[in-house]
């Protein structure tokens, strides 16, 4: 089911991609995108139903629906859900159809790109919430930036949308660089970035302080915490309604979830 949640939005995007820009095709594209997102939402509800909460104490490291791909030596493609990430997945699949409906009738130019962008953003967000590898989480944590940047530039409002998009992209990207540095330091210590392996490894207190600072800066910018909020008002006001909904409802929650992941790993240790 977890694999389906990741692949169904991409499958919907592939169906939309070769379609023409005629009026009938645009109607069909909207229906395909909305249907795809609703299917994903119902699958996430079934995932919630099948989730065994009795053996998934919060912070206990009990992951379910785990999917692994170990062919890459530098990155452990490991996905799973626990009592924390499950509800972020539900939130993402619930908000995506609402985002599509919010601009369902008022976007006509480049409609295909808009619909594909929303569906791909859904997959990337779910990947971030279910990743069990720190480097993988960072990749998906940052992968939403270029897509949302283009959405603001193309479908945003007003002449300042270009400045708002660049401010959002560059500010949040630069803020996340200390986290990348911290992840690389962790990899140099452990030789792996798997959440559960990190929780079992003993890192000196002095090193932990510097690592914490790198993660804190990234999460403070992305949340954002004061005084790192300079990019947020403009990004919201100049985004299309769908982009603003996704930004407020789920994308900003990536930082909160990241902080909770660190706390979960420490609790497991």
- Distance of alpha carbon 175 from alpha carbon 181, whole angstroms: 11
Residue 129's domain spans which residues? 2-268
Residue 99 pLDDT grade (very low, low, confident, very high; cuts 50, 70, 90): very high
Residue 151 pLDDT grade (very low, low, confident, very high; cuts 50, 70, 90): very high
H helical segments located in 103-131: 111-130
Q: pLDDT higher for 265 or 49? A: 49
Mean pLDDT of 237-255: 90
Q: Percent of the chain, pLDDT > 90?
A: 39
- Distance of alpha carbon 122 from alpha carbon 105, whole angstroms: 20
- Distance of alpha carbon 103 from alpha carbon 157, whole angstroms: 13
Q: pLDDT higher for 75 or 135? A: 135
Q: Percent of the chain, pLDDT > 70?
A: 92
- Distance of alpha carbon 99 from alpha carbon 115, whole angstroms: 10
pLDDT digits 0-9 by tens, 168-200: 899 889 889 999 999 999 888 888 888 877 877
* CA 51, 53, 58, 60 torsion-angle sign: negative
Could you tell me which of 15, 70, 108 has the C-alpha nearest to residue 197?
Answer: 70
**Residue 18 pLDDT > 50:** yes
pLDDT digits 0-9 by tens, 65-90: 888 776 666 556 788 898 889 999 99
**Residue 263 pLDDT > 90:** no
pLDDT digits 0-9 by tens, 225-244: 888 888 888 888 889 999 99
Residue 176: C-alpha distances to residues 74, 81, 138, 153, 268 (Å): 20, 24, 9, 22, 25
Could you tell me which of 129, 145, 174, 175 has the C-alpha nearest to residue 235?
Answer: 145
**Residue 138: strand, helix, or coil:** helix
Residue 41 pLDDT grade (very low, low, confident, very high; cuts 50, 70, 90): very high
Q: Give the pLDDT score at 75.
A: 57
Number of domains the chain is built from: 1
């Amino acid at each position: 089911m977890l694999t389906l949640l990741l692949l169904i939005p991409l499958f919907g995007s592939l169906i939309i991609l070769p379609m023409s820009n005629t009026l009938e095709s645009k109607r069909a594209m909207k229906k395909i995108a909305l249907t795809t997102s609703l299917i994903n939402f119902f699958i996430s509800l079934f995932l919630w139903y099948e989730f065994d909460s009795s053996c998934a104490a919060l912070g206990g490291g009990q992951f379910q629906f785990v999917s692994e791909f170990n062919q890459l030596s530098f990155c452990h493609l490991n996905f799973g859900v626990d009592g924390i990430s499950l509800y972020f997945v539900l939130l993402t699949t619930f908000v995506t159809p609402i985002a599509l409906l919010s601009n369902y009738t008022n976007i006509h130019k480049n409609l295909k790109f808009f619909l594909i962008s929303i569906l791909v953003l859904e997959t990337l967000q779910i990947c971030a919430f279910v990743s069990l590898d720190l480097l993988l989480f960072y990749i998906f944590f940052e992968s939403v930036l270029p897509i949302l940047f283009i959405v603001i530039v193309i479908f945003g409002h007003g002449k300042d949308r270009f400045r708002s998009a660049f401010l959002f992209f560059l500010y949040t990207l630069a803020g996340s660089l200390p986290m990348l540095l911290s992840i690389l330091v962790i990899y140099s210590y452990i030789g792996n970035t798997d959440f559960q392996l990190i929780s079992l490894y003993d890192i000196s207190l002095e090193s932990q302080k510097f690592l914490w600072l790198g993660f804190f800066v990234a999460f403070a910018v992305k949340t954002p915490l004061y005084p790192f909020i300079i990019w947020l008002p403009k990004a919201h006001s100049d985004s299309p309604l769908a982009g603003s909904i996704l930004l407020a409802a789920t994308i900003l929650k990536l930082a909160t979830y990241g902080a909770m992941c660190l706390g979960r790993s420490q609790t497991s240790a």
